[in-house]
Amino acid sequence: MERIDSAAAYLREKLGTRTPVIGIVLGSGLGKLADQIENQLVIPYKDIPDFPVSTAIGHKGNFIVGSLGGKCVLAMQGRIHYYEGYGMELVVLPVRVMIRLGIRSLFVSNAAGGTNLDYHVGDLMIIKDHINLLPNPLIGPNLDGLGPRFPDMTRPYDPSIIKLALRLAAEMGIEVHQGVYVGGTGPSYETPAEYKYFRLIGADAVGMSTVPEVIAARHAGIPVFGMSVITNEAHDDYADDYVNDGHDVVVAADAAADKMTALFIRIIESL
Ligand code: HPA
């Protein structure tokens, strides 16, 4: 709690009179949404006392505050992953800091592999639910100042924001899937048998992030909206020369980032 509060105090001083109402987590290759933030102030994670730094490819490692869709937002350009070797309490620290700063909703995004055979590279998926295969970030003494010991997870992703997003996507002519995201540890990509397993247990997309942050936000009662960009397709039979590659994932995410950015902005405008 001290670590959360000291990072929040540092940021509060930097923010001055700016009071972000929406927190945004930008996933692999999706950092360019930050370019659309007006009157922005960049606060590098490395300048924040005792703060973890993102080492993943396609993750820059900055907080960016400014105006998006007419609202004051605080965006994380790059997140912290469990596979980087950080403990779960550090993976969720940035989100908890944003919560301490008073955000009233959290938007999360990620690059993900499509386990649903109808999903293709460049597709967008609104996350309607998740399956957690990472350690739960709430394990350990409960931080009573943030939320209850046994938080409800009946509606992990806010149904009213999903409804709004579906209406706006249709108006904008942007096709979106609605699906279940399974979060694993990575960093190895899945074997064909694992992709099949995830499909069988009800997942439409798989990634290495997001779920911890969503659990931390829901612990604190913050409504969440989540979106995956499908960067690779999970088949059971690959071509002899097919490989999953982290750089290809970032390139595919970057190519679809404009669509996701446009939709995020419209949703934020309409909230
Ligand atoms: N698996 C796990 N994480 C990912 C993938 C994947 O196929 N694609 C992008 N992130």
Q: Would you say 124 and 231 are in contact if contact means Cβ atoms under 8 Å apart?
A: no
Alpha-carbon distances, residue 132 vs 135, 155, 186, 215 (angstroms) = 8, 14, 13, 9
Residue listed under structure tokens 């942050």: 213
**What SS3 class is residue 44?**
strand
pLDDT level of residue 132 (50, 70, 90 thresholds)? very high
Q: Report, as residue numbers or ranges, the catalytic residues.
A: 28, 59, 81, 83-84, 111, 208-209, 232, 247
Ligand 1, residues at Cβ distance < 6 Å = 111-113, 186, 189-190, 206-208, 231-232, 244, 249
Q: Would you say 90 and 232 are in contact if contact means Cβ atoms under 8 Å apart?
A: no
pLDDT at residue number 250: 84
Given a cut of 90, is residue 30 above it in pLDDT? no
**Residue 230 DSSP code:** E
Most informative mutation of 59, 117, 120, 189 for ligand 1 (most atoms within 8 A of CB): 189
Most informative mutation of 182, 232, 233 for ligand 1 (most atoms within 8 A of CB): 232
pLDDT at residue number 98: 98
Give the Å distance between the CA of 8 and the centre of ligand 1: 31
Q: Whose CA is nearest to atom 3 of ligand 1?
A: 207
In angstroms, the CA 75 to CA 65 distance is 6
Please give the single-letter amino acid code of residue 45. Y
Compute the average pLDDT of residues 194-205.
97
Q: Would you say 166 and 176 are in contact if contact means Cβ atoms under 8 Å apart?
A: yes
End-to-end CA distance of the chain: 30
Q: Would you say 257 and 227 are in contact if contact means Cβ atoms under 8 Å apart?
A: no
Give the Å distance between the CA of 111 and the centre of ligand 1: 7
pLDDT at residue number 6: 96
**What SS3 class is residue 24?**
strand
* 269 alpha carbon, distance to own chain's centre: 19
Give the Å distance between the CA of 95 and the centre of ligand 1: 22
Q: What domains are defined for the chain? A: 2-270 (3.40.50.1580)
Q: Whose CA is nearest to atom 2 of ligand 1?
A: 207
In angstroms, the CA 172 to CA 68 distance is 18
Most informative mutation of 109, 115, 123, 206 for ligand 1 (most atoms within 8 A of CB): 206
Ligand 1 atom at minimal distance to the Cα of residue 189: 1
Candidates 36, 35, 41; CA nearest to 18 is 41
Give the Å distance between the CA of 182 and the centre of ligand 1: 10
pLDDT digits 0-9 by tens, 63-119: 999 999 999 999 999 999 999 999 999 999 999 999 999 999 999 999 999 999 999
Q: Would you say 49 and 135 are in contact if contact means Cβ atoms under 8 Å apart?
A: no
Given a cut of 80, is residue 236 above it in pLDDT? no
Give the Å distance between the CA of 79 and the centre of ligand 1: 15
* Burial (Cβ within 10 Å: 0-12, 13-18, ≥19) of residue 42: middle
Q: Would you say 257 and 28 are in contact if contact means Cβ atoms under 8 Å apart?
A: no
Q: Whose CA is nearest to atom 6 of ligand 1?
A: 113
pLDDT level of residue 168 (50, 70, 90 thresholds)? very high
Q: Would you say 61 and 78 are in contact if contact means Cβ atoms under 8 Å apart?
A: yes
